[in-house]
Amino acid sequence: MKKLGYVIRVTKQTQAKEGLNYTLVANRVSPEAVLVSMEIPREGKLKDMSRVTMNIRPILPPSQSRPVSHSPLVYATLQTTENKKGVWNVSFQLASELAERCSVDLLIPKGSREYFSYAVELKEYITDASPAPFLFGAGR
C-alpha cells in the first residue's frame, strides 16, 4: 500500500530547526478557553502550502494492538485570510482541554494525490494571558 502523505510533528523547540517561519500565539484567556492566532508567510518550505487544518486527538491509553490513535476527534479545515504581503492569517478559539491535544497542520501538496504536512503541536505555544487591567471607576 502506497503512503499518501508524510507528517512531521513540530514543537516550539523544533520550529527553527525545521526552517519554518510562522508566528503562533495561543493565549489561555480563562480556565475554559484558549485563543489562537497564527501568521504564516507563504515562503520557503511553506510557499506551496494549500491548506491549514486543525486536528484534535483523543486521549487513549496506548496498547500493544493500538499504540497510537490515528483517528481524530475533530479534523477541520480552518478559514484563512491573506494580507497584501501574501501572509496567511488564521484564528480560532477552543476549550483549554482540547487545546492540549490540538495540532495546527500546514498541508503542502506533493503530486496529484500526495501531501506533506507540518503538524504544529499547539500545547507547546500556550501561555496564560495577562489579566486585563481593572477598569471599574476609571476616569474619576
Residue corresponding to grid cell 491548506: 51
Tell me whether residue 105 is in a domain. yes
How many domains is the chain built from?
Answer: 1
The CATH number for 121's domain is: 2.60.40
Tell me whether residue 30 is in a domain. yes
Task: Indicate yes or no: pTM above 0.75.
Answer: yes
Tell me whether residue 36 is in a domain. yes
Q: What is the pLDDT along the chain (140 residues), one digit of tens a residue?
A: 455 678 899 999 999 999 999 999 999 999 999 999 999 999 999 999 999 999 998 876 655 555 555 678 899 999 999 999 999 999 999 999 999 999 999 999 988 778 889 999 999 999 997 655 544 454 44
Task: Quickly list DSSP for 36-91.
Answer: EEEEEE--GGGTT--EEEEEE-------SS-SS--S-SEEEEPP-EE-TTSEEEEE
Using a 10 angstrom Cβ sphere, with 0-12 exposed, 13-18 middle and 19 or more buried, the burial of residue 116 is: middle
Tell me whether residue 133 is in a domain. no
